[in-house]
Chain A
């Protein structure tokens, strides 16, 4: 479904990603893990068009999307849950969801259905539907961010550190959601700091370090692999 080949990104003179290649197949959960500063967020931003890559190719459903502006990529069925949630704090929960359906804004009926679906997924959001999103707790905001991304009814959902700053209970809830998404036929790509947890729920994983893919493979294999700790804590 998604194929990234030899992707290099730099911020001005600073190189952030160096010839990164990876692929996400339909129906999988793929985790991208790595220490901070590894370039995980940069990778996601490059895929979703928020950053311009220096070189490489990004194929989505066989089409080159490198250089396509972010708002168009969303229309192709790829949705991004940004790091730190980024909900529209001054708007109600429901308005946040409606904004998530921006690409299908003309089909009122469908939007209503999607909203109901999300309320079913996270009943908490329904309780808080008219509340300003900024007044939600961190965990609730993360739910909202996930739901908002799902409002465009994407085929591929990309999440950037959904566990950040959440209590274990909320982390579990969000991770459960990812598994449910997979069951309902969606493809999921998730970037995580909580490496072990991400490996536990994903099918395959890539380990980034200082802008390069250091390890990749089946998640359950990686869980047993000693070299994972080495990648994080260095070797001597």
Chain B
């Protein structure tokens, strides 16, 4: 039934509307506007994937658009390819450029990324302007009348053709949105470091997001090249990039129907405002400003809040995913336990310039144990966790995992090996539900590829249902099944920590590193968290626990390492640690100071 509904809404109705359009609005101007709408819409669908899902701001989409337009013009006119083939090829060319831009801007985020993309867009537009031999510059070049199988497409047929592509791309984009690819895009857009420690190679995924987005922009550009059988460099300027972005934001970035609304605004509005043509950018600037203030989630976002709010906040089990709420006791699915040395830190040092955050530290973690790492402020606990999870590469020493050297592994590599972690400063994927957060944790277990997801084959939906059920079971283990469909960031702090634990468990880790799991939680929540850790321990999971809350540490840990000023000062069982004078000194103050100050007192 869901399938039938999907075909009606995604394909049937749009097809009918598209086919019927010329009967209602049969004049050349309206058809031309409709073509422009559809072409722009295709670009916006791509930009929405990038900006809305992956949070990668691009102000250079005009570059991909121009590359698409010029390559398809050149491929048809000079090489003599069919226009449709040339459009697809130019989409691929734009995708390659997308990958290049992504690689160049890997470390840039937010405004800096926007700057890189602006530079790219400007570069392409300057080339279009100056490389007159090829592009014709401002005077432009002619393209052919589009034809398919020997039939020339008239204005109306060309509109139908573009519309058909738009419907296909929308269906593809929707499939991407609802499957694991959309989830992964959103995940690294929300938190790169959390995605990495769950085994997502963020670099590759960013390249993919940029490529897909650039592909659609390239195809849009290609379609544009044949709309008027003429293109000139004056079209491809920065303000077009800005308009694209405005459409995404006004429509509601990251929503499925946002692009339709957004495109309608930027294409439709100028039709009513031709008298103010000189003020277009100003008017759009104003609209953007108002939209950002009044409707931060865009038009679609605002409406979902109104009408769907209740539907989303209701706590019913999502039947779409076929989740079973049975009475079986949920079991923790863990890899086989390992006895003996699991992880070894050999003379690990992490120096930041002159600061020795950790210095020559040796720790051995045995399989099946809970190993505590404690120490006063600034003792190097967080640095140790960051080294263990690959967030930092140590400046000295080796990290051995089951005897294998993993010192130089990136976080996603370490996650692939079966080590994951939670974060002291929570790193949940805020735009997702609790269930989706946990589903991202299954990343390394998903098998289906991009094409299968694009088509959303039966295999894909089966896989989705399978892992949704597993994620739900994990939520039952941490006692959060009731919250499965709530937005993760709406949960109380302590429960958010439990979501992170469940998400980490989804990886099916051999070793789970808990970085201050009780920080900021209320006493009641702390009890819950402690109970969960205890149960994981009983299930045989190896855990590294960094925590200030000593009652938890002393009751749960089998073995404890104490750090102070980046050095290991002692290790042993909880009893040993509690009675070790070095530990007491580290926590309560050194002997030297005490004597000095005590001396003061007797004088005073």
Contacts and interface: CB of A to CB of B under 8 A. Distances in A.
Chains A and B are bound partners:
yes
Contacts of B319: none
A201 B597 contact: yes
Interface in A186-226: 193-198, 200-201, 210
A172 B596 contact: yes
Interface string B487-518: 00001110010000000000000000000101
B492 A196 contact: no
A106 interface: no
B588 A196 contact: yes
Interface string A8-23: 0001111110100000
A236 B593 CA distance: 29
B8 interface: no
Interface stretch (A111-119, A139-147, A227-235): A227-235
Nearest to B516: A37
Interface residues of A, number: 36
A233 B578 contact: yes
Query: Which of B553, B587, B588, B598 has the most chain A CB atoms inside 10 A of its CB?
Result: B588
B521 interface: yes
Interface in B577-604: 577-578, 583-584, 587-590, 592-594, 596-598, 600-601, 604
Nearest to A176: B600
Query: Which of A12, A168, A183, A197 has the most chain B CB atoms inside 10 A of its CB?
Result: A197
B594 A233 contact: no
B537 to A, nearest CB: 15
B577 A233 contact: yes
Interface stretch (B231-239, B256-264, B331-339, B543-551): B543-551
Nearest to B596: A172
B520 A14 contact: yes
Contact of A232 (B523, B588, B601): B588
B588 A195 contact: yes
A235 B554 contact: yes
A175 B377 contact: no
B554 A168 contact: no
A21 B212 CA distance: 58
B588 A200 contact: no
Given A14-B519, A232-B550, A197 B597 contact: yes
Interface residues on B, range: 35 or more
Contact of B493 (A13, A229, A235): A13
| Majority secondary structure of chain B interface residues (helix, strand, loop or mixed) | helix
A37 B590 CA distance: 20
B600 A234 contact: no
B584 A229 contact: yes
A171 B604 contact: no
A36 interface: yes
A195 B553 contact: no
B519 A15 contact: no
Interface in A1-57: 11-16, 18, 35-38
A228 to B, nearest CB: 8
B98 interface: no
B578 A168 contact: no
B522 A234 contact: no
Interface in B520-549: 520-523, 526, 548-549
B575 interface: yes
B555 interface: yes
A193 B526 CA distance: 24
A179 interface: yes
Contacts of B522: 15, 18
A233 B575 CA distance: 10
Contacts of A16: 520
B574 interface: yes
Contacts of A168: 590, 592-593, 596
B301 interface: no
Nearest to A212: B523
Contacts of A35: 376, 548, 550, 587
Contacts of A15: 493, 520-522
Contact of B551 (A176, A193, A235): A235
Nearest to B601: A200
B578 A234 contact: yes
Interface in B358-384: 376-377
A13 B489 CA distance: 9
Nearest to B491: A13
Contact of B597 (A14, A37, A171): A171
Contact of B548 (A12, A37, A200): A37
A36 B496 contact: no
Nearest to B547: A37
A234 B596 contact: no
A200 B597 contact: yes
Nearest to B589: A194
Nearest to A38: B548
B354 to A, nearest CB: 14
A233 B587 contact: yes
A219 to B, nearest CB: 10
Contact of B589 (A172, A179, A193, A233): A193
B520 A197 contact: no
A77 B583 CA distance: 39
A137 B601 CA distance: 26
B520 A193 contact: no
Contact of B593 (A11, A171, A176): A171
Contacts of B521: 14-15
Query: Which of A179, A196, A201, A235 has the most chain B CB atoms inside 10 A of its CB?
Result: A196
B548 A13 contact: no
Contacts of A198: 589
A234 B551 contact: yes
A35 B552 CA distance: 14
Nearest to B424: A37
B523 A200 contact: no
A164 to B, nearest CB: 9
Contacts of B520: 11, 13-16
Nearest to B580: A233
A201 B587 contact: no
A15 B601 CA distance: 37
A12 B589 contact: no
A175 B600 contact: yes
A205 to B, nearest CB: 12
A197 B593 contact: yes
A234 B553 contact: yes
Contacts of A11: 520
A196 B601 contact: no
Contacts of B588: 194-196, 228-229, 232
15 contacts: A11-B520, A15-B493, A15-B520, A15-B522, A35-B376, A37-B519, A168-B593, A168-B596, A194-B594, A197-B589, A197-B597, A200-B598, A210-B526, A232-B584, A236-B578
Given A194-B590, A196-B594, 13 more contacts: A13-B496, A14-B493, A168-B590, A172-B600, A175-B600, A193-B589, A196-B588, A200-B594, A200-B598, A233-B578, A233-B583, A234-B552, A234-B553
Minimum-distance CB pairs A-B, first 8: A234-B550, A14-B520, A194-B589, A234-B554, A13-B493, A37-B548, A36-B377, A14-B493
